[in-house]
């Protein structure tokens, strides 16, 4: 139903295209066997199987994508499906959630899976002193009840319609109860592959378990090997020389060369990662909505996509809700570059011309300083004189972001609207980088709280659309573009036509969803 | 012989003093870099509370002087502590820090073993190669062979390492897929496999160090060829090869051994760039990663290892040149 509008899959491989054209369902072509070798960045010698510490693609793929399972899973098309839970039910106020767990599942050490495992694993995130990034999710649960061996009930402090989505978060993997210490050390999960060898920051090798509840749907490889390659050039080399079958995060500048190689193909999906220019709406002159509006019309978004992302992205509408979100309002009228309108709003604010400082650094995103200079050039005709202040990358997030009135920044994006908006646009939260609160739009803050507990999808869509409109018209963050996830594969590996778009590498689930061609 | 023992003792004492100074310099330098571990590990998530919490947990809120002496106190007893990343993850998950943490020594040991393996492979190729080339160049000096060898080695030493590495990758991995471009060795790999993976980085290092050793061998031998006793040997009718190997080379050993030892030290300490290009899991890569996140305990330990390697190999070089030279062995 809403699937198609949510997808904006740009390119899959030529082989996949041919298969799709022949009308055969792709899944039918998937077959067991082989070893997938992937070169990934983001590995560190202090990596471990403790999912509370997972933060980058290497361990996210090895953890929740390969060795462990969560209760729920975001499918490649963005729909939510059960992983260790089979189905769930909410009370009308979205406060009490009952989950039925999958039966007959065993951990890699033979222990059978049940309600205790779920409760103990989730409690890790709110343990004394734990700084787990998923702590805020779990701390919303006021009570966890074991209703049966394979049924758990969660009582939330306040209603949250997205709760099952949040349980798909890669930190919330399920460990065997009573053996969590061993599991954190050795990586004992319920996933499709067991740990054969793991050298932190160097390499991970997983072997397929003999029988698994996902048999026939996922997990086609006999073995999967991750090689830590943090250096961009080395990663590209490894793919070119056939040392690995796939790499993440290819360099936009060398993409053309990779594309010219008939053995390789580029996989590109447009996701929620966005590059931003947040203004502090409680600091003059950004407290004046007309100044913010002038700046919204003074930026040439398409030019930034073309020159900063080299085409690997799409223009955005000053809202962080992106193409990988359920209620993304892609049909809203798009803000466009219009110096006359910018001048008009500047006049409304009482200025003929205005001088503004814009802080930028490569720490914010690749090419942030160049983007700021493009902004400077496009704003000049409107009488807005932007002075680009180049800040050091070290300490940028501590000394510049949310400190200087206007700067460059980025967000990785979140799987649900509420998660994104309540991270950076809810009154009083620490990462609110535009100091956006009810003095700016009381309506927005009310909607944010109401939509969270609303179970009716149609009503939620209306609410989130209205919030996206408010942010577009009055919001304190200029969001010119969404950046694509770009990865590359060689012809030995096949991937489904639909590739996950809320994180790199098919939502870090390439070991489950891809197969040897 | 007593003088040699005295020299060794003297040099070791000076070496320890040097290590101490190096540790102060490194500590100061890392502290002068903008940002600290808390800020770089938190990135965008660096709220003042989170930064303060990590600094408190790791003791980064103490004054640099007291932190240095804390570290020194441990290091003197052979305890290099735990890396900040490890300690932070422990406090991150709420488990009590200290117990069950991987220590810096445990973290570095496998990486150091890998680096030593790479250095040995490179040395096994580079040392005989450059000595042979040096002797041959001296023997056929000013011939076409001599010139070609000189130009080739001098241009390879004049190019940056990463450039040589990429040229080798291009020739031996991309154009002719003979060798792997990725040197991701790991535990449990068979020796031939490990050797194959290590070959390209070892060849890169060989190209970097050969010129120095080869030129020194050539110069030392040519220098001696003008001496009267060599002329005597020639007049006796000995073959040029025998003159060089039996008469010139033993007397040229001191400067050659010296330069070989210096280059061996370089094979250990100069691997940083090569390891990054080839994704070789050695100490150089660990070092780069640690500097990036300002993980001072690991940076300090790596630097001390590098410094110690330099000091020890230099000491060895000096002692060998004394032993090979009777005039130095029995000073008047």
- CA atoms of A461 and A286, how far apart (whole Å): 30
Give the number of other Cβ atoms within 10 Å of residue B152's Cβ. 15
Contact state of B34 with A394 under an 8 Å Cβ cutoff: yes
Which residues make Cβ contacts (< 8 Å) with residue A316, sequence separation at least 6? A274, A301, A322, A479, A480, A481, A482
Which residues make Cβ contacts (< 8 Å) with residue A79, sequence separation at least 6? A3
Q: Which of B191, B205, B212 is nearest to B115 (CA)?
A: B205
pLDDT on residue A16: 36
- CA atoms of A317 and A299, how far apart (whole Å): 11
The C-alpha of A496 sits at a distance from chain B's nearest C-alpha, in angstroms, of 28
User: Concatenated DSSP letters for B211-268?
Assistant: HHHHHHHHHHHHHHHTSHHHHHHHHTT--HHHIIIIIIHHHHHHHHHHHHHHHHHHHH
Residue written as token pair 């050993």: B253
Best mutation target among A48, A131, A260, A410 (most B Cβ atoms within 10 Å) is A131
Confidence of residue A500 (pLDDT cuts 50, 70, 90): confident
Residue of B nearest to A363 (CA): B43
- CA atoms of B107 and A201, how far apart (whole Å): 11
Please compute the mean of the pLDDT values over residues A478-507 and round it to a whole number. 90
Residue A138 CA, chain-centre distance (Å), reads 19
Judged by a CB distance cut-off of 8 A, whether residue B35 touches chain A is yes
Judged by a CB distance cut-off of 8 A, whether residue A243 touches chain B is yes
User: Concatenated DSSP letters for B156-174?
Assistant: HHHS-HHHHHHHHHIIIII
Q: Which residues of chain A have a CB within 8 Å of the CB of B40? A: 394
Contact state of B182 with A401 under an 8 Å Cβ cutoff: no
CA angle A224, A230, A234 (to 5 degrees): 90
pTM as predicted: 0.84
Quick one: CA dihedral B185, B187, B190, B192, positive or negative?
Answer: positive
Instruction: Name which of A75-79, A204-208, A340-344, A347-351 the model is least confident about.
Output: A75-79
- CA atoms of A324 and A39, how far apart (whole Å): 25
Q: Are B54 and B265 in contact (CB under 8 A)?
A: no
Of residues A46, A394, A397, nearest to B86 (C-beta): A46
Q: Are B217 and B256 in contact (CB under 8 A)?
A: yes
Of residues A44, A409, A430, nearest to B85 (C-beta): A44
Residue of A nearest to B172 (CA): A241
Interface of B with A in 293-332 (CB under 8 A): none
Judged by a CB distance cut-off of 8 A, whether residue A199 touches chain B is yes
Judged by a CB distance cut-off of 8 A, whether residue B114 touches chain A is no
Contact state of A397 with B180 under an 8 Å Cβ cutoff: no
Q: Which of A230, A252, A332, A342 is nearest to A295 (CA)?
A: A342
Q: Measure the N-to-C terminal CA separation of chain A; round to a whole number of Å.
A: 30
Which residues make Cβ contacts (< 8 Å) with residue B29, sequence separation at least 6? none
Whether cis (ω within 30° of 0) applies to the bond prior to A88 is no
Burial class for B83, CB neighbours closer than 10 Å (0-12, 13-18, 19+): buried
- Give the tens place of pLDDT for each residue, A2-27: 333 333 333 333 333 333 333 344 45
Judged by a CB distance cut-off of 8 A, whether residue A403 touches chain B is no
pLDDT on residue B88: 67
Residue with more model confidence, B66 or A73:
A73
Judged by a CB distance cut-off of 8 A, whether residue B57 touches chain A is no
Q: How many percent of chain A have pLDDT more than 70? A: 94
Q: Which residues of chain B have a CB within 8 Å of the CB of A397? A: 39, 42-46
Q: Are A220 and A30 in contact (CB under 8 A)?
A: yes
Residue with more model confidence, A55 or B167:
B167
Judged by a CB distance cut-off of 8 A, whether residue B97 touches chain A is no
Distances A360 to A369, A475, B250 between C-alpha atoms, Å: 5, 20, 63
Judged by a CB distance cut-off of 8 A, whether residue B64 touches chain A is no
pLDDT on residue B101: 66
Residue with more model confidence, A346 or B297:
A346
Judged by a CB distance cut-off of 8 A, whether residue B89 touches chain A is yes
Q: Which residues of chain A have a CB within 8 Å of the CB of B34? A: 392, 394-395
Which 3 state secondary structure label does DSSP give A389? Answer: strand
State the pairing for strand pair A354-360/A384-390.
Answer: parallel
Residue A234 CA, chain-centre distance (Å), reads 25
Of residues A53, A228, A430, nearest to B89 (C-beta): A53
Best mutation target among B105, B184, B275, B287 (most A Cβ atoms within 10 Å) is B184
Q: What is the overall mean pLDDT for chain A?
A: 87
Q: Are A40 and A226 in contact (CB under 8 A)?
A: yes
Please state whether A505 falls in left (phi above 0), alpha (psi between -120 and 50) or beta: left
Judged by a CB distance cut-off of 8 A, whether residue B204 touches chain A is no
CA angle B306, B309, B313 (to 5 degrees): 150
The C-alpha of B29 sits at a distance from chain A's nearest C-alpha, in angstroms, of 15
pLDDT on residue B1: 54
For chain A, the C-alpha Rg in angstroms (whole number) is 23
- CA atoms of A323 and B275, how far apart (whole Å): 40
Q: Are A496 and A76 in contact (CB under 8 A)?
A: yes
- CA atoms of B232 and B237, how far apart (whole Å): 9
Contact state of A430 with B47 under an 8 Å Cβ cutoff: yes
pLDDT in tens, chain B (332 residues): 567 788 788 888 888 898 889 888 888 887 787 777 777 777 666 667 777 777 877 777 788 888 888 888 887 787 777 777 777 666 555 554 445 567 888 888 888 999 999 999 999 999 999 999 998 998 888 899 999 999 999 998 898 888 999 999 989 988 888 888 888 888 778 889 899 999 999 999 999 999 889 999 999 888 888 889 888 988 998 888 888 888 888 888 888 888 888 888 888 888 888 998 898 988 988 888 888 778 888 888 888 888 888 888 888 888 887 777 777 777 66
Residue A106 CA, chain-centre distance (Å), reads 29
pLDDT on residue A323: 86
Give the number of other Cβ atoms within 10 Å of residue A86's Cβ. 15
Q: Which of A359, A356, A368, A366 is nearest to A389 (CA)?
A: A359
Token output for B230: 């060599």
Distances A132 to A119, A142, B90 between C-alpha atoms, Å: 16, 17, 11
Residue of B nearest to A410 (CA): B44
Which residues make Cβ contacts (< 8 Å) with residue A343, sequence separation at least 6? A294, A382, A383
Which residues make Cβ contacts (< 8 Å) with residue A244, sequence separation at least 6? A37, A38, A39, A227, A229, A235, A238, B182
User: Concatenated DSSP letters for B167-207?
Assistant: HHHIIIIIISTTS-S-----TT--HHHHHHHHHHHHHHHHH
Domains of chain B: 2-93 (no CATH), 109-329 (1.10.3720.10)
- CA atoms of A318 and A424, how far apart (whole Å): 13
Q: Which of B318, B262, B266 is nearest to B119 (CA)?
A: B266
Best mutation target among A52, A123, A237 (most B Cβ atoms within 10 Å) is A237
Q: Which residues of chain A have a CB within 8 Å of the CB of B181? A: 234, 237-238, 240-241, 243
Q: Which residues of chain B have a CB within 8 Å of the CB of A410? A: 44
Contact state of B181 with A50 under an 8 Å Cβ cutoff: no
Strand partners, A195: A206
Q: Which residues of chain B have a CB within 8 Å of the CB of A63? A: none
Contact state of A243 with B182 under an 8 Å Cβ cutoff: yes
Of residues B93, B169, B278, nearest to A53 (C-beta): B93
Judged by a CB distance cut-off of 8 A, whether residue B156 touches chain A is no
Judged by a CB distance cut-off of 8 A, whether residue A244 touches chain B is yes
- CA atoms of B22 and B308, how far apart (whole Å): 10
Best mutation target among B30, B31, B92 (most A Cβ atoms within 10 Å) is B92
Please report how many Cα atoms fall inside a 13 Å half-sphere around the Cα of residue B119, on the Cβ side. Answer: 24
Which residues make Cβ contacts (< 8 Å) with residue A169, sequence separation at least 6? A70, A134, A137, A415
Judged by a CB distance cut-off of 8 A, whether residue B50 touches chain A is yes
pLDDT on residue A13: 33
Contact state of B180 with A243 under an 8 Å Cβ cutoff: yes
Contact state of A129 with B94 under an 8 Å Cβ cutoff: yes
Confidence of residue A440 (pLDDT cuts 50, 70, 90): confident
CA angle B97, B101, B105 (to 5 degrees): 130
The C-alpha of A207 sits at a distance from chain B's nearest C-alpha, in angstroms, of 16
Residue of B nearest to A205 (CA): B186
Q: Which of A54, A160, A163, A184 is nearest to A448 (CA)?
A: A160
Interface of B with A in 277-296 (CB under 8 A): 277-279, 281, 286, 289
Q: Which of B295, B134, B147, B152 is nearest to B217 (CA)?
A: B134
Contact state of A395 with B277 under an 8 Å Cβ cutoff: no
Confidence of residue A121 (pLDDT cuts 50, 70, 90): very high
Residue of B nearest to A402 (CA): B47
Distances A5 to A323, A335, A395, B54, B258 between C-alpha atoms, Å: 9, 20, 40, 44, 71
**Is the pLDDT reported for residue A445 higher than 70?**
yes
Q: Are A288 and A450 in contact (CB under 8 A)?
A: no
Distances B244 to A408, B227, B228, B252 between C-alpha atoms, Å: 68, 12, 14, 10
Report residue A333: phi and psi, to 5°. -60, 135
Distances A455 to A89, A161, A283, A444, B231 between C-alpha atoms, Å: 11, 5, 37, 19, 102
For chain B, the C-alpha Rg in angstroms (whole number) is 24
- Give the tens place of pLDDT for each residue, A279-329: 999 988 899 999 999 999 999 999 999 999 988 899 999 999 988 888 999
Residue B273 CA, chain-centre distance (Å), reads 11
Tell me the helices (H) and strands (E) count for chain B, helix number first.
Answer: 16, 0
Token output for B188: 């449990």
The C-alpha of B87 sits at a distance from chain A's nearest C-alpha, in angstroms, of 9
pLDDT on residue B45: 66
- CA atoms of A140 and A80, how far apart (whole Å): 20
Contact state of A240 with B174 under an 8 Å Cβ cutoff: yes
The C-alpha of A129 sits at a distance from chain B's nearest C-alpha, in angstroms, of 4
Q: Are B51 and B72 in contact (CB under 8 A)?
A: no
Q: Give this complex's ipTM.
A: 0.81
The C-alpha of B77 sits at a distance from chain A's nearest C-alpha, in angstroms, of 24
Domains of chain A: 1-67+191-263+491-517 (3.40.190.10), 69-180 (3.90.76.10), 272-484 (3.10.105.10)
């Amino acid at each position: 139903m809403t699937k198609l509008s949510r997808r904006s899959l740009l390119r899959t491989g030529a082989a996949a295209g041919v298969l799709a054209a022949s009308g055969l369902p792709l899944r039918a072509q998937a077959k067991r066997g082989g070893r997938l070798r992937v070169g990934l960045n983001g590995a560190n010698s202090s990596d471990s199987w403790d999912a509370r510490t997972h933060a980058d693609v290497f361990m996210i793929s090895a953890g929740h994508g390969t060795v462990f399972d969560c209760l729920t899973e975001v499918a490649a098309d963005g729909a939510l499906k059960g992983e260790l839970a089979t189905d769930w039910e909410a009370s009308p106020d979205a406060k009490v959630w009952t989950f039925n767990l999958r039966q007959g599942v065993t951990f890699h050490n033979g222990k059978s899976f049940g309600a205790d495992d779920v409760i103990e694993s989730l409690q890790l995130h709110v343990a004394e002193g734990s700084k787990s990034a998923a702590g805020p999710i779990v701390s919303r649960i006021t009570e966890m009840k074991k209703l049966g061996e394979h049924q758990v009930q969660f009582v939330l402090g306040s209603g949250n319609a997205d709760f099952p989505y949040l349980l798909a978060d890669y930190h919330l993997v399920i460990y065997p109860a009573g053996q969590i210490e061993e599991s954190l050390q050795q990586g004992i999960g319920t996933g499709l592959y067991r740990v054969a060898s793991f050298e932190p920051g160097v390499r991970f090798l997983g072997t397929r378990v003999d029988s698994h509840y996902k048999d026939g749907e996922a997990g086609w490889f006999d073995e999967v090997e991750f090689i830590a390659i943090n250096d961009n050039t080395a990663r590209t080399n490894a793919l070119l020389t056939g040392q690995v079958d796939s790499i993440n995060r290819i360099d936009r500048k060398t993409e053309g060369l990779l594309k010219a190689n008939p053995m390789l193909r580029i996989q590109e999906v447009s996701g929620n990662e966005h590059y931003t220019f947040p203004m502090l709406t409680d600091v003059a002159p950004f407290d004046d909505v007309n100044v913010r509006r002038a700046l919204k019309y003074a930026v040439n978004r398409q030019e930034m996509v073309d020159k900063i992302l080299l085409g690997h992205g799409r223009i955005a509408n000053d809202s962080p809700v992106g193409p990988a979100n359920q209620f993304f309002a892609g049909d809203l009228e798009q803000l466009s570059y219009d110096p006359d309108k910018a001048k008009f709003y500047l006049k409304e604010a009482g200025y003929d011309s205005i001088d503004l400082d814009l802080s930028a650094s490569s720490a914010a995103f690749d090419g942030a300083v160049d983007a700021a200079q493009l902004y400077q050039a496009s704003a000049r005709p409107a009488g807005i004189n932007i002075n680009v202040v180049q800040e050091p990358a070290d300490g940028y997030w501590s000394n510049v972001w949310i400190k200087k009135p206007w700067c460059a920044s980025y967000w990785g994006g979140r799987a649900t609207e509420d998660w994104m908006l309540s991270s950076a646009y809810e009154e009083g939260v620490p990462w609110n980088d535009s100091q956006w609160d009810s003095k700016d739009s009381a309506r927005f803050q009310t909607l944010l709280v109401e939509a969270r507990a609303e179970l009716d999808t149609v009503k939620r869509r209306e609410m989130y659309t209205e919030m996206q409109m408010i942010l577009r018209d009055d919001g304190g963050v200029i969001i010119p573009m969404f950046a694509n996830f770009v990865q590359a594969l060689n012809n030995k590996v096949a991937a489904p036509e639909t590739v996950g778009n809320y994180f790199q590498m098919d939502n870090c689930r390439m070991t489950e969803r891809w197969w040897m061609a | 012989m007593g003088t040699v023992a005295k020299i060794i003792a003297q040099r070791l004492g000076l070496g320890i003093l040097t290590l101490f100074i190096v540790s102060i310099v490194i500590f100061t330098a890392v502290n002068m870099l903008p940002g600290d571990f808390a800020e770089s590990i938190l990135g965008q998530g660096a709220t003042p509370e989170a930064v303060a919490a990590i600094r408190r947990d790791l003791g980064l809120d103490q004054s640099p002087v007291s932190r240095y002496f804390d570290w020194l106190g441990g290091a003197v007893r052979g305890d290099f502590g735990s890396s900040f990343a490890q300690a932070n993850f422990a406090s991150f998950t709420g488990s009590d820090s200290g117990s069950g943490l991987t220590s810096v020594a445990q973290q570095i040991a496998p990486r150091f073993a890998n680096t030593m393996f790479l250095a040995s492979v490179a040395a096994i190729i580079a040392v005989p190669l450059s000595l042979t080339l040096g002797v041959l160049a001296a023997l056929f000096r000013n011939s076409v062979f001599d010139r070609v060898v000189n130009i080739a080695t001098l241009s390879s030493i004049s190019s940056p390492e990463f450039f040589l590495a990429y040229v080798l990758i291009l020739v031996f991995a991309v154009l002719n897929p003979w060798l792997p471009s990725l040197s991701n060795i790991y535990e449990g790999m068979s020796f031939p496999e490990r050797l194959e993976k290590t070959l390209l980085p070892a060849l890169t290092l060989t190209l970097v160090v050969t010129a120095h050793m080869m030129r020194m061998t050539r110069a030392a031998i040519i220098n001696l060829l003008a001496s009267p006793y060599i002329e005597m040997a020639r007049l006796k009718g000995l073959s040029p090869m025998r003159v060089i190997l039996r008469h010139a080379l033993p007397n040229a050993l001191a400067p050659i051994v010296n330069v070989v030892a210096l280059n061996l030290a370089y094979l250990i300490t100069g691997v940083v760039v090569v390891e990054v290009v080839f994704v070789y899991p050695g100490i150089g890569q660990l070092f780069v990663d640690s500097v990036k996140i300002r993980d001072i305990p690991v940076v300090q330990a790596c630097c001390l290892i590098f410094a110690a390697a330099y000091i020890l190999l230099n000491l060895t070089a000096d002692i060998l040149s004394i032993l090979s030279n009777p005039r130095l062995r029995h000073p008047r």
